[in-house]
Amino acid sequence: LSGENRVLTMDTMNPNVKRVEYAVRGPIVQRAVQIERELKMGIKKPFTEVIRANIGDCHAMGQKPITFFRQVLALCSYPDLLEDGKFPEDAKSRARRILQACGGGSLGAYSTSQGIEMIRQDIARYIERRDGGITCDPDNIYLSTGASDAIVTMLKLLVSGEGMSRTGVMISIPQYPLYSATLAELGAVQISYYLDEDNCWSLDISELRRALQEAKKHCSPRALCIINPGNPTGQVQSRQCIEGVIRFAAAEKLFLMADEVYQDNVYADGCKFHSFKKVLFEMGLEYSEKVELASFHSTSKCYMGECGFRGGYMEVVNLDPEVKVQLTKLVSVRLCPPVPGQALLDVVVNPPQPDEPSYDTFIKVSTLAEKANMTQEILNQVPGIKCNPVQGAMYTFPRIHLPPKAILEAKEKEQTPDMFYCMKLLEETGICLVPGSGFGQRDGTYHFRMTILPPKEKLKIVLAKIKEFHQHFMAQYS
């Protein structure tokens, strides 16, 4: 079948799809898959396994699921187990309560499109506890298929206009590439503001202002996206910074989108997670009744790391009631988020209490703080690698200094220099990272994103291998 005779070709395809890029699962990961196949076929390599430090996939990196959560999911999946004496009563009561809220008492029924009402109520109470009692209305909660789904839905609502009046959306650079990919798909204008690498990837309001002023010349800026704690950069924003962002959004009439999926992943001393919602409400009526906000959360990160269930939700604040009707209509077309993910979310926001049997064995302990420190320490020992503290989330985004000879060779191979570096690292060590170019970075700087998720002993080996590789690389190309 020759290309010309096809209906759907690169020439006829949606041009916005062509512009979509998503480096976290890009060419380097495809090569990693090939290498794994080659290893299986017995092809000799200087390593015996591929280590995927490219994606925040906790369970794939050996983290065990939380027993209590999985007991409840098993009970919900196969309710005959409710008669089984081996399951603790608190797991059973959670499961019964969830099943009662499901159509026909089954995870297999569709839920309402916004998500099961009881679960939205539980989430609202969870948010109220997190935010020191600030009210949360369950009607403002929308469950979703992972946080990504809700982020895309909100962006979809926000995008309109043509030419000069086309919607512009501010995103940080470096950013999580879901944002740039979705803006490309929707044909919206990406407005890049740079995080300050020299100040631990902090957000500088004057940089927001610069980016906005420039953008106003060619589009209509309407939303500001923040990722806190940061992905890929691992910083945790101060309360003062968040207040500044909110003031800026209010003054410039920007819709705030707060990606807070790493809200429980904060490690550094002196750092604390402040939700945009809480700060907004504590800034007084001038802001709390004015600024439109959507905040996103997920079951995929934090201590549970249950990515595969695709559980997530957003809370909308100050959304126009008519727009809310439209939002509800829009999500109804896709019927409902996966119900097992909704059930999981319900247990996450409603964990065992001190007077319940599973409380003592319910363990949220994480070694991530330790691994965050170790990563930063070891990488900073390598000449030519500079790494900010990993204050939160589960990534480090170190800067790598690449010699001109390497940059030249990359150019010859039509690769970005950091892709060239990461590809070489993969071929020589089996370690799979994502080049900084996939997230965006200041011109002439190079980075990679690496997760800190491998088990401690393995992470040590990974870091040692990167160190050795980098020294080799520098020697080879200088």
Cβ proximity to a copy of itself: between 236 and 307 the closer is 307
* Binding window for a copy of itself (CB under 8 A); candidates: 111-119, 231-239, 261-269, 384-392: 111-119
Binding part of the chain for a copy of itself, among 266-274, 286-294, 356-364, 462-470 by CB under 8 A, reads 286-294
Q: Which of residues 447-476 bind a copy of itself (CB under 8 A)?
A: none
Q: Which stretch binds a copy of itself (CB under 8 A): 327-335, 382-390, 426-434, 438-446?
A: 327-335
Stretch that binds a copy of itself, among 124-132, 155-163, 203-211, 434-442 (CB under 8 A): 155-163
Which range in 129-137, 177-185, 225-233, 436-444 contacts a copy of itself by CB under 8 A? Answer: 177-185
Amino acid (1-letter code) at residue 437: S
State which residue, 110 or 468, has the beta carbon closest to a copy of itself: 110
Q: How many angstroms separate the CA atoms of 346 and 95, rounded?
A: 10
Among 53, 63, 215, 312, binds a copy of itself (CB under 8 A): 63
Report in angstroms how near the CB of residue 83 gets to a copy of itself at its nearest. Answer: 10
294/382 with CB nearer a copy of itself: 294
CA distance 428 to 46: 6
Residue number with CB closer to a copy of itself (61 or 372): 61
Which residues make Cβ contacts (< 8 Å) with residue 198, sequence separation at least 6?
Answer: none
Shortest Cβ distance from residue 101 to a copy of itself (Å)?
Answer: 12
Q: Provide the residue type at 52 as one letter.
A: R
Of 213, 240, 326, 476, which lies in the binding site for a copy of itself, with binding defined by CB under 8 A?
A: 326
CA distance 22 to 359: 40
Count interface residues toward a copy of itself (CB under 8 A): 102
Count of CA atoms in the C-beta half-sphere (13 A) of 34: 9
Q: Which stretch binds a copy of itself (CB under 8 A): 12-20, 198-206, 401-409, 426-434?
A: 12-20
Contact with a copy of itself (CB under 8 A): which of 32, 50, 53, 73? Answer: 73
Judged by CB under 8 A, the residue of 47, 209, 283, 308 near a copy of itself is 308
**Can residue 156 be called a binding residue for a copy of itself (CB under 8 A)?**
yes
Q: In terms of CB distance, is 177 or 398 closer to a copy of itself?
A: 177
184 vs 268, which CB is nearer to a copy of itself? Answer: 184
Q: Which of 109, 187, 31, 85 is nearest to 343 (CA)?
A: 109
Q: Which residues in 19-38 contact a copy of itself (CB under 8 A)?
A: 20-22, 24-26, 33
Q: Which stretch binds a copy of itself (CB under 8 A): 63-71, 195-203, 348-356, 441-449?
A: 63-71
Closest approach of a copy of itself to the CB of residue 63, in Å = 7
28, 94, 111, 262: residue in contact with a copy of itself (rule CB under 8 A): 111
Determine the Cα–Cα distance for residues 29 and 449; give it in Å rounded to an integer.
Answer: 13
Give the whole-angstrom CA distance, residue 349 versus residue 95: 14
Rounded to a whole number of angstroms, the minimum distance from the CB of residue 32 to a copy of itself is 11
Judged by CB, which is closer to a copy of itself: 236, or 304? 304
The least distance separating a copy of itself from the CB of residue 6, rounded to whole angstroms, comes to: 5
Q: Restricting to residues 335-374, name those near a copy of itself by CB under 8 A.
A: 335-341
- Which of 143, 159, 419, 426: binder of a copy of itself (CB under 8 A)? 159
Q: Does 60 bind a copy of itself (CB under 8 A)?
A: yes
Interaction with a copy of itself in 181-240: which residues (CB under 8 A)? 181-182, 185, 222-223
Residue 283 lies near a copy of itself (rule: CB under 8 A): no
Locate tokens 């026909």: which residue?
104
Q: Is 39 in the site for a copy of itself (CB under 8 A)?
A: no
